[in-house]
Structure 1
Amino acid sequence: MKSWKINTLFAVMAVVLASACTKRFDEINRNPFDFTEEELKADYRLMGEPLSQAQLNLLIYNDPPTAQLQQNLNADIFSGYMMAPTPFEGNINNTNYGLLYYWNNKPWQVTYSNVMKTCDFAQSKAKGHYADFYAWAQIIKVEAMHRISDIYGPVIYTKYGILNEEMGIDYDSQQEAYYAFFKDLDEAVDTLTGFINSGFPQRFAAFDLVYKGDYTQWVKFANTLRLRLAIRISGIDPKKAREEGEAALRHPIGLLTTPADNFAVNISPVTHPLNIMCYTWADLRMSAPMESILTGYKDPRLAHYFVPTDDGVNVYHGIRNGIKIAAKEEYSGFSQLVKFDNKILFMTAAEAWFLKAEAALYGWLGAGNAATNYATGISTSFNQYSITNANAYMNNNVDKPHPYTDPQNGDNNVPEGDPHLSTITIKWEESAALQQKLERIITQKWIAMFPEGQEAWSEFRRTGYPKLFPVVINNSGGTISTEKFIRRLPMPQIELVTNPKAVARAVATLKGPDTGGTPLWWDLR
């Protein structure tokens, strides 16, 4: 992105953005300028620039400290991908379930202020005039808001912008939100498909930081997102899941299929925030499960994800979550992440194939064959990194995740035979039980989705796979089970202060108290 475009984004968003605090409802919902139809039509910038900003803030692109709290110090770590060597707050922090409310506000704040608000603004200008921009905003909004729902549970979605002075701004339960996500994706796909079929000029190019204005690619992404959400609810709501999943699977434009289809936001020339966290601050290292699984499988993606330690060219060490860390230097020599390019990855085509593999297990129409989809998921992930030996890897029926040894502290070891150490191999076995097939699919999907920790954490909570190592130190005060792992983040403190009555009603839709140990609607574990 050129500097003029960034400056334009800031200029436009200075008009658009404001806090999501309900105490300032009149301020945040007032457009201080009145735009004419001519201004609205000029280069589509009034709608396009806000949607560029929304893409950039799916994970805040230009503020690494906020990005660290938005995702890294929750989902990236809870997913088993990464771990911090830093003993934040006297070693009582999210990594060992000593949840810090001022950390856990950030996912909510960034998404509502920088994504939901901008999408709502763009839709208000596009409605009745520019159906393609309206549909595009729907897709971006669902991508952002399903992530927030999968962190907290209930969200402000269908009632966004509707203030009751006495009762606040009301929430959707997670079930209501998911049903609304499906509705919005269905409408958006129908709209953009109509534009594609009519040969109408495609108008996103100047603002699209993912697919450079290609409507077909956005339909593929929306279909895959719909399938992701359908699989997510397949345990709790199988009828609705099948209906939505089959609609995605059987759509004529299809799903993401090759690495060229990956959904990744181009933040150039800004560097990837994970690079800052890992290399500038030394706050990020490989996790113990990543070491165990990737080294155990002799996975050639290992060198594309992490950097060897100083102990040798093929020596990788990860840090176990929830351990005693006296000082950063104790574990800072463990494996760093590779340096990422200027794209933030949110969905891979490999994930789409693994979603199809699971859908095939359930007999969904259009899903094809589970074994074929599983193999294609692995080969697609390998192709993403230009790795050529996928067949040898996927036919490996011997190697398993390695036991974990912490060279700094033996109390953190996970020895052979530990129930948290997986014994699953890579090669597909058609005669295996459904749960073994599911473990293979999810384990390989988990590997292929790296470094997208939000989705990896959600899938671990839903399925229990891949097998991860529980925290050694649990500072939750009994609100989070060590064996069941953390299930969600509590409702953000900012909402408890500014929207208390609505939050109380939202909490009543949960399966238990507003703690990190209460499972979400779709989480049956």
Structure 2
Amino acid sequence: MTKTILKYSGALLFIASLAIIGCTKLDDMNKDPTRPTTTEPQYLLTGAQKSAMDILYSGLQNGFIAMHYAQFWSGNARVADSQYQLDEGNNTAFWNTLYTYSLHNLDALITMNKAKAGQPGVANQNAIAQIMRAWLFQVLADTYGNIPYSQAFQNTTNIAPKYDDPKAIYNSLIDTLQAQITILDASQTSFSTGDIIYKGDVESWRRLAHSLLLRMAIRMVDANPEKAKQIIEANYQQAISNNLQGAQFQYVDAVPNRYPQNDKDRAIIDFSISTTLLDYMNSLNDPRLPIYARPSKADTVFRGLPYGWTTSDPQHKSDVFYATPGTQIYSTTMPGILMSYSEVEFILAEAAARGMNVGDAATHYTNGIKASMHYWRDLTKTAIADTTIDAYIAKVPYTAADWRNVIGTQKWLALYPQGFQAWFERTRLKFKKPGGQPLFMAPKSGVLDASVTEGVPYRLTYPIPEQTQNKANYDAAATAVGGDFKGTKLWYNKF
């Protein structure tokens, strides 16, 4: 971990915390929540939420990395990202932001509350912070593999933390989430201000903890099927059960609190919709397509750009020839999605398909599709009739013998524009189109990273500063994961 992350002096605490005097929601702010002037638990929470969502939905990280690896988008003039040449500045910023701001704010919140242990609301505040920590540490572990965890914030005694094994991290995070479910007490207060995601509602955070346990369990299901089964069967009935219960960070149309990848601040010309996404949605007459994408400016046709196609090819046309991300996807008020109801239903569909006692796979699968359709219909006020949704589902029926492809494709569609989660699921499930035909394509103009031999990176390489500033632990981690390469499979992919 870089020295800038680890040297958490009082000055850094001052910088990394958040000042929003008397705010109750994000649109009350007239300050950048990551640039504070004072420190209180509620400010630290908002700073953690906003900094995490800003980096997870930034055009530099979500756009150039995750949305490419999920093969939702392809680069226009800048094509190397689609060919798996990682921008090291973007990579380092992702790592640094999640550790220095997001996770540090949560650690500081919990530490600050130690002096107030036993006071009303403190236990709930800490439980909410711990749930957020679990979410972010899983994102980091799923992105890199071994990461600093147990020693990450021993700032006064250790500025070069070891990297922990991701299996051990998962076990710790599962234990943490289960503990917070017990600690949370709806009869007590929590955050009266500062919580943009759930406004301090304890029951909502408890549901999210149950849901995150489902996400962790299904991701490790091939590596540890018995433990995954136990977790899912124990938690599914208490998880998110409708769209209104989903976890998301609501941005507002006011600087600096707009959705980070909006085209009001500047025209975004970096990305086109990939043929992978567009052609598949077109083939199904998917009613979400006009929401996910805008047609070509040249002739108003929904036309995808072949993935990873260099502009030096004479057949490659101008960017106005290809479809671009939709109006809502580039809106200033697009929510940053943490976890949705549709994801929960697709997890349960897969769990049922694998023989777990969670209900009927086909029912959960249908619920997942409907939840996604209703979410986008309600968010955009688009007229998607229930009859249209029913006709769509009839085109993509649940097939038990082909569950991996059937569930995988629909879950992938529903995860748009959550690039990181969609990428993780692409590499985990290795799904194709229903029936077995390929869905994804190799970069049309070739791969620029020789380690990526199976069509998609399985992880990001560690930020370059780690190789010098935490060299011994970096070297150990690189060996432990099987080589610091993007083509190296994570622990749950090796099955």
Normalising by the residue count of structure 1, what TM-score does the alignment of the two structures yield? 0.79
Q: CA deviation at 1:158?
A: 2.0
Q: Which residue of 2 aligns with 1:309?
A: 296
2:450 is the alignment partner of 1:450: no
Q: Secondary structure at the match of 1:264?
A: strand
2:204 is the alignment partner of 1:223: no
Q: Secondary structure at the match of 1:509?
A: helix
Q: Which residue of 2 aligns with 1:473?
A: 445
- Kindly provide the CA deviation profile for residues 91-137 of structure 1, in whole angstroms up to 9, marking residues without a partner as x: 5x321122332232121011011111101000111233411111111
1:312-391 to 2 correspondences below 5 Å? 312=299, 315-326=301-312, 330-340=318-328, 341=331, 342=333, 343-365=335-357, 367-386=358-377, 387=384, 388=386, 389-391=388-390
Q: Which residue of 2 aligns with 1:423?
A: none
- Kindly indicate whether the alpha-carbon contact (under 8 Å) linking 2:113 and 2:126 is maintained by their aligned counterparts in 1: yes
Q: Which residue of 2 aligns with 1:48?
A: 42
2:127 is the alignment partner of 1:132: no
Residue of structure 1 aligned with 2:139, choices 135, 141, 147: 147
2:397 is the alignment partner of 1:427: yes
Q: Which residue of 2 aligns with 1:15?
A: none
Q: 1:167 to 1:302 in 2, by over 3 A?
A: closer
Q: CA deviation at 1:353?
A: 0.5
- Kindly provide the CA deviation profile for residues 39-90 of structure 1, in whole angstroms up to 9, marking residues without a partner as x: xxxx9971111111111122327x98xx233322111110011122122xxx
Q: CA deviation at 1:171?
A: 1.3
In the alignment, residue 56 of structure 1 is paired with which amino acid? Answer: K
2:75 is the alignment partner of 1:84: yes
Distance 2:327 2:355 in 1: 40
Distance 2:307 2:483 in 1: 24
- Kindly indicate whether the alpha-carbon contact (under 8 Å) linking 1:56 and 1:267 is maintained by their aligned counterparts in 2: no
2:227 is the alignment partner of 1:240: yes
Q: Please list every run of 5 or more consecutive structure 2 residues that lacks an aligned counterpart in the other structure.
A: 15-23, 25-37, 378-383, 433-438
Moved more, 289-298 or 163-172: 163-172
- Kindly indicate whether the alpha-carbon contact (under 8 Å) linking 2:297 and 2:320 is maintained by their aligned counterparts in 1: no
Residue of structure 1 aligned with 2:176, choices 184, 193, 198: 184
Distance 1:50 1:469 in 2: 42
Q: Which residue of 2 aligns with 1:503?
A: 474
Q: Which residue of 1 aligns with 2:491?
A: 521
Residue of structure 1 aligned with 2:149, choices 157, 161, 178: 157
Distance 2:416 2:163 in 1: 31
- Kindly indicate whether the alpha-carbon contact (under 8 Å) linking 2:405 and 2:431 is maintained by their aligned counterparts in 1: yes
Distance 1:213 1:27 in 2: 27
Distance 1:156 1:32 in 2: 19
Q: Which residue of 1 aligns with 2:53?
A: 59
Moved more, 441-450 or 472-481: 472-481
Identity across matched positions, percent: 24
Q: Which residue of 1 aligns with 2:248?
A: 264
1:15-54 to 2 correspondences below 5 Å? 21-22=2-3, 25-28=6-9, 46-54=40-48
- Kindly provide the CA deviation profile for residues 427-459 of structure 1, in whole angstroms up to 9, marking residues without a partner as x: 123xx42xx112111111111111101000000
Distance 1:187 1:285 in 2: 44
Distance 1:338 1:517 in 2: 31
Q: 1:107 to 1:26 in 2, by over 3 A?
A: closer
- Kindly indicate whether the alpha-carbon contact (under 8 Å) linking 2:70 and 2:419 is maintained by their aligned counterparts in 1: yes
Q: CA deviation at 1:185?
A: 1.0
Q: CA deviation at 1:470?
A: 1.2
Q: Secondary structure at the match of 1:379?
A: helix
In the alignment, residue 504 of structure 1 is paired with which amino acid? Answer: D
Q: 1:165 to 1:333 in 2, by over 3 A?
A: same
Q: Secondary structure at the match of 1:378?
A: helix
Q: 1:278 to 1:333 in 2, by over 3 A?
A: farther
Q: Secondary structure at the match of 2:303?
A: coil
Distance 2:235 2:265 in 1: 37
Q: Secondary structure at the match of 1:257?
A: coil
Residue of structure 1 aligned with 2:195, choices 205, 208, 214: 208
Q: 1:351 to 1:109 in 2, by over 3 A?
A: same
Q: CA deviation at 1:21?
A: 2.9
Q: Secondary structure at the match of 1:168?
A: coil
Q: CA deviation at 1:287?
A: 1.5
Q: Please list every run of 5 or more consecutive structure 1 residues that lacks an aligned counterpart in the other structure.
A: 1-19, 34-42, 397-425
Q: Which residue of 2 aligns with 1:14?
A: none
Distance 1:441 1:32 in 2: 44
Distance 1:259 1:271 in 2: 22
In the alignment, residue 180 of structure 1 is paired with which amino acid? Answer: S
Q: CA deviation at 1:30?
A: 6.9
Distance 2:7 2:267 in 1: 41
- Kindly indicate whether the alpha-carbon contact (under 8 Å) linking 1:96 and 1:474 is maintained by their aligned counterparts in 2: yes
In the alignment, residue 405 of structure 2 is paired with which amino acid? Answer: E
2:109 is the alignment partner of 1:122: yes
Q: 1:284 to 1:484 in 2, by over 3 A?
A: closer
- Kindly indicate whether the alpha-carbon contact (under 8 Å) linking 2:74 and 2:305 is maintained by their aligned counterparts in 1: yes
Q: Which residue of 2 aligns with 1:275?
A: 262
- Kindly indicate whether the alpha-carbon contact (under 8 Å) linking 2:53 and 2:249 is maintained by their aligned counterparts in 1: no
Q: CA deviation at 1:278?
A: 10
Q: CA deviation at 1:359?
A: 0.9
Moved more, 256-265 or 96-105: 96-105
Q: Which residue of 2 aligns with 1:486?
A: 457
Please provide the CA RMSD for this pair: 2.6
In the alignment, residue 348 of structure 1 is paired with which amino acid? Answer: S
Normalising by the residue count of structure 2, what TM-score does the alignment of the two structures yield? 0.83
Q: Secondary structure at the match of 1:275?
A: coil
In the alignment, residue 456 of structure 1 is paired with which amino acid? Answer: A
In the alignment, residue 245 of structure 2 is paired with which amino acid? Answer: D
Q: Which residue of 1 aligns with 2:21?
A: none
Q: CA deviation at 1:280?
A: 1.2
- Kindly indicate whether the alpha-carbon contact (under 8 Å) linking 2:8 and 2:155 is maintained by their aligned counterparts in 1: no
In the alignment, residue 497 of structure 1 is paired with which amino acid? Answer: T
Distance 2:87 2:372 in 1: 35
Q: CA deviation at 1:499?
A: 0.9
Distance 1:70 1:462 in 2: 20
